[in-house]
Amino acid sequence: MTTPVLIVLIGFLIFFGHYLAQLFERTKIPDVVGLLLVGLLLGPVSHLIDATAFGQGGRVFSNLVLVFILFESGLEVRFEQLRSALRGTLGLTTLNFLITVLVVAVVGQLLAGLDLLSSLILGSILGGTSSAIVTTLARKVHILPQTSTTLVMESALSDVFTLAIPIALISFHTGASFNVATLFSQIISSLLVAVLVGTGGGYLWSVLLNRVPTLLKTRFSTPAFVFILYGLVELLQFSGPIAVLFFSITLGNVALLRPPRLARLLPTQRPVELTATEKDFFSEIVFLLRIFFFVYVGISIVLDNWYLIALGAGLTVVLFLARIPVVLATADRQAPSLTWLS
């Protein structure tokens, strides 16, 4: 594909993304579906674009999109929503992960010919929900703020499970020892460190915005700080997505986080929140990144084994049905969104 054609295609995708967003308002069909179909047509169907041509850039782009999406979503989360959703989120994330691992392990052995350990590894990889997809849909559909917060938090927390546990199982598969206590300590430390770094980073950045007024005039200074925070946390082998999420939650609620002792030490330094203009700016960036991200996901899909594709589709349906009792078992029974299921 020549450069002029590629540039025309990029412009077309942006217009098509806006059209799908408007279509969602009328039909409630997620724009993600349309973007994935476009990616399928460009990649595995017509072979106009090869996903391998992106190389390492594709992975970097995926992480970039995840950072922006989690950052924008966290800005809208209020502390009272977080408190009410946190308990249910922990139960939902853990139970959904365990059920997913068990279901995939059984299907993997019976229908895919995998051994037990390989099935458990596959189940632990598939045991979470995608932050990019869940966060996008949670912001578009009409659900309660607490429900939206629970889904966003679950998608971020599940990244810890789907990273630490598969690595431990793969190490065991290659002959290393498996220590349950070490695994749980890694998961807990990853969560705690990420939360502390994200919260502290959010408050620190709000103070820096006050002390260095020129930062307020550069709209990309906050994303740059978020990238640094995410990269450092990941380098330390903790959860970068959790750190970014709590950074943005802190920044969105920073007016409530001025401790009295710190106020006496820094009487002139008041935390600064992002303006509505800055939030709109980040929203537009996320919109553009989402378009190209889901098209890239569609391009990256491999269609070379129809049996495995059909098995994956069937497994998706089974996991969706299994999630219903998981939600009923972990969510607040008084939640308005669940009363009709009771």
Give the whole-angstrom CA distance, residue 149 versus residue 73. 9
| Per-residue tokens: 124 | 């632990």
**Do the domain assignments include residue 330?**
yes
Kindly state whether residues 230 and 279 are assigned to the same domain.
yes
Helices (H), 75-115: 79-111
With beta carbons less than 8 A apart as the criterion, state whether 258 and 212 touch.
no
**Do the domain assignments include residue 68?**
no
Kindly state whether residues 276 and 209 are assigned to the same domain.
yes
**Do the domain assignments include residue 97?**
yes
> CA 25, 26, 32 angle in degrees (round to 5)?
55
Kindly state whether residues 253 and 113 are assigned to the same domain.
no
Kindly state whether residues 199 and 296 are assigned to the same domain.
yes
Q: What total number of domains does the chain contain?
A: 2
CA distances from 120 to 104, 114, 167, 234, 312 (A): 7, 9, 12, 25, 16
Kindly state whether residues 316 and 295 are assigned to the same domain.
no
Kindly state whether residues 189 and 131 are assigned to the same domain.
no
Give the whole-angstrom CA distance, residue 36 versus residue 44. 11
Q: Which one is predicted more confidently, 49 or 260?
A: 49
Q: Of 242, 246, 68, which is closest to residue 156 (Cα–Cα)?
A: 242
Mean pLDDT of the chain: 82
Kindly state whether residues 160 and 231 are assigned to the same domain.
no
pLDDT tens digit string along 60-98? 888 888 888 888 888 877 777 777 777 778 888 889 999
Q: Which one is predicted more confidently, 49 or 258?
A: 49
Quote the pLDDT of residue 325.
92
pLDDT at 314 over 90: yes
Q: Which one is predicted more confidently, 122 or 216?
A: 122
Q: Of 106, 165, 32, which is closest to residue 315 (Cα–Cα)?
A: 106
Give residue for tokens 């219903």: 324
pLDDT tens digit string along 275-292? 677 777 788 888 888 889
Residue 225 is part of which domain span? 180-301
Band (pLDDT 50/70/90 cuts) for residue 23 is confident
With beta carbons less than 8 A apart as the criterion, state whether 164 and 139 touch.
no
**Do the domain assignments include residue 325?**
yes
Q: Of 271, 161, 205, which is closest to residue 71 (Cα–Cα)?
A: 205
Kindly state whether residues 107 and 255 are assigned to the same domain.
no
| Average pLDDT, integer, range 8-17 | 90
| Per-residue tokens: 197 | 């770094």
**Do the domain assignments include residue 114?**
yes
**Do the domain assignments include residue 52?**
no
Give residue for tokens 């412009």: 11
Q: How many residues does the chain have?
A: 342
The contacts found for 20-27 with CB under 8 angstroms, 24 or more apart, are 21/287, 24/140
pLDDT tens digit string along 194-233? 999 999 998 888 888 878 877 767 778 888 899 999 999 9
Quote the pLDDT of residue 319.
92
Q: Enumerate residues 6+ apart whose C-beta is below 8 A from 197.
A: 229, 232, 233, 238, 243
Quote the pLDDT of residue 1.
67
pLDDT tens digit string along 156-191? 888 888 878 887 888 777 776 667 777 788 788 888
Give the whole-angstrom CA distance, residue 325 versus residue 304. 34
| pTM metric for this prediction | 0.78
Quote the pLDDT of residue 259.
53
Kindly state whether residues 222 and 151 are assigned to the same domain.
no
Quote the pLDDT of residue 217.
72
Quote the pLDDT of residue 267.
45
**Do the domain assignments include residue 95?**
yes
Kindly state whether residues 167 and 244 are assigned to the same domain.
no
| Per-residue tokens: 272 | 């600064």
Kindly state whether residues 184 and 292 are assigned to the same domain.
yes
**Do the domain assignments include residue 3?**
no
- Amino acid identity at 333: R
Give residue for tokens 């992002």: 274
Kindly state whether residues 184 and 296 are assigned to the same domain.
yes
Give the whole-angstrom CA distance, residue 183 versus residue 204. 31
